Amino acid sequence: MTDAKVNSGKEKRRSGWWWVPSLYYAEGIPYNIVMVVAVVMYKTLGVSNTAIAFWTSILYLPWTIKPIWSPFIDVTSTKRNWIIWTQLVLAMAFLGIALTVQLPLYFPITIFILWIVAFASATHDIAADGFYMLGLSEYEQAWFVGIRNTFYRFATITAMGLLVMFAGYVQTHTGLEAVNLEVQALPADQIAMQKWDRPVAPEMSEPGKPRILYHPEKVVVPLYEKGVNECDSVVVWFYLSGIPENGKTVVMNFGKKRGSQDIFLVSESRFEFNADNWNIPQKAVIKVNHALRESASAEFNAAAGDIPLSWTFSFGILALMLFAFAIYHKFSLPHPVDKAATESKEVLSSYLDVFKTFFRKKGIVAGILFLLLYRLAESQLVKLASPFLLDPREAGGLALSTSQVGIAYGTIGIIMLLVGGLLGGFLAAKYGLKKWIWWMALAINLPNIVYVYMSYAMPDNFLVVCACVGIEQLGYGFGFTGYMLFMIYIAEGIYKTSHYALATAFMALGMMIPGMISGKIQEILGYHHFFIYVMFCTIPSFIVLLFIKIDPNFGKKKNKPVTI
């Protein structure tokens, strides 16, 4: 039964301003949660890079295979109904993550729920894009394309920036008060004899919230001098002043925040305290570089914020947002006649023809290779960028806080991504895609070198980090414009919408497979060599460009305007 029968008398046309911005804002939230925010969440919860990269990359699968079930969305119900119901499913899924992230088996449970989020989000994308063409005239579709993409980017800033910053704020204002330690490296003759034996911890628990305690009070490591003083490290012991409240386990992360790179942690950096071991001192070992000859210092930080609680609040907010969007769209979306729901036989009969005509396109092999390899480097970098920013310096990371990652990567980075995309769209519209595709390939690949620089220089100036992330994202936004326009180009023909969906499936596959192994590669190589390896992975994108053919006039102003 169609909307024409069920909704006779209801408004079939309504200004796009009532629903286009909110629809595409709602569309952008779950995708960015699955692809990026989940990486940050699992990293702060202590999951390994290998597991993070593998399992979050597999979550690309629904977007890869969505062309398989997209015709059935047309024939089983109206796109309007699909939009509302998938938003309700997403709201319930986000609520599920909020309620389970504090459980002992949170990782497999939340991964399973993220699968639901991924399938619901991919289905929502299909329905929303189809509804966009039904609810607007051809002229309105062209006019609102910039609006929809802008609000999709706002959703990206909300998810990757504001939400991550909020989680970081909760982490710093919950749990135990953080402790800062200044570690000095001095000549041995300037250091009084220290006892590095395990301290005697309190037997009785202090009332109220426990504090982080450490020993010795003044942390000094002697400079190494062969044959004279061969001691090159100091031991710092950590324990609590009392039993954690409400039977919880306190997770304490210890690492360097800033200072001399010649002073570094060589032991475990993550400690767990509970009712059984709160007063059993845990050992951290700080070492000095043997080549260091002058006095130096570094600042270390021991933090024990309530990380699971921060993500409970964050995903709870997401659940409320998606539920509100579902209610709002129930009343704001127009009721256009959805002809596809009445033409199931025609849709099913042309189903196989969609695939046949796609794979028979001229130059399709080179086109598919382009879709798979153009972002080979970026597909791996994006999975390890946030872990690199969050990891302690002893593990090769920059030791940023969760809030700082939200600012650098999720706010400044996304703004620069948007600027790059607008610039790329302007130049492609003026001069054509063919003229700019090589420059776009350079832009999406070469700025990755800023991560090579950061992995070696280890800057502790946050503005420098933001500048590096901004440069990489600016290039990515500019280069990704060429990728999106090529998908539009390769989809041209009688089944333009379905062929574009197939192109996006290959796009997702090109992100999924390399991303799955990127975490393991990084753990084997370390951040230094991993980012160099990423630079080598840029080479295939230039090779495939030699084989693709693009009409010199495609993308110019005389064609149908496209805004990315």
Quote the CA–CA distance of 75 and 87 in Å, as a whole number: 20
pLDDT for residue 559: 44
pLDDT for residue 472: 94
pLDDT for residue 401: 83
Across the range 339-362, mean pLDDT stands at: 67
With 70 as the cut, is the pLDDT of residue 349 above it?
no
Closest alpha carbon to 38 in 469, 382, 472:
382
* pLDDT tens string 107-130: 999 999 999 999 999 999 888 877
- The DSSP letter of residue 412 is I
| Residues near 2 by beta carbon (within 8 Å), at least 6 away in sequence | 78, 337, 338, 339, 341, 342
Phi, psi for residue 281 in degrees, rounded to 5: -60, 135
Of the ranges 278-282, 448-452, 502-506, which one carries the lowest mean pLDDT score? Answer: 502-506
* pLDDT tens string 308-342: 999 999 999 999 999 999 999 999 888 876 555 54
Name the pTM for this structure: 0.76
pLDDT for residue 345: 52
Closest alpha carbon to 74 in 501, 433, 379, 463:
501
Strand positions, DSSP E, 282-375: 282-288, 296-304
Closest alpha carbon to 289 in 312, 262, 267:
262
Cβ contact 36:386 at 8 Å: yes
CA distances to 195, 224, 232, 359 from 350, in Å: 80, 76, 73, 15
Quote the CA–CA distance of 55 and 50 in Å, as a whole number: 9
Rounded to a whole number of angstroms, the distance between the first and last alpha carbons of the chain is 36
* pLDDT tens string 253-282: 888 888 888 888 887 788 889 888 998 999
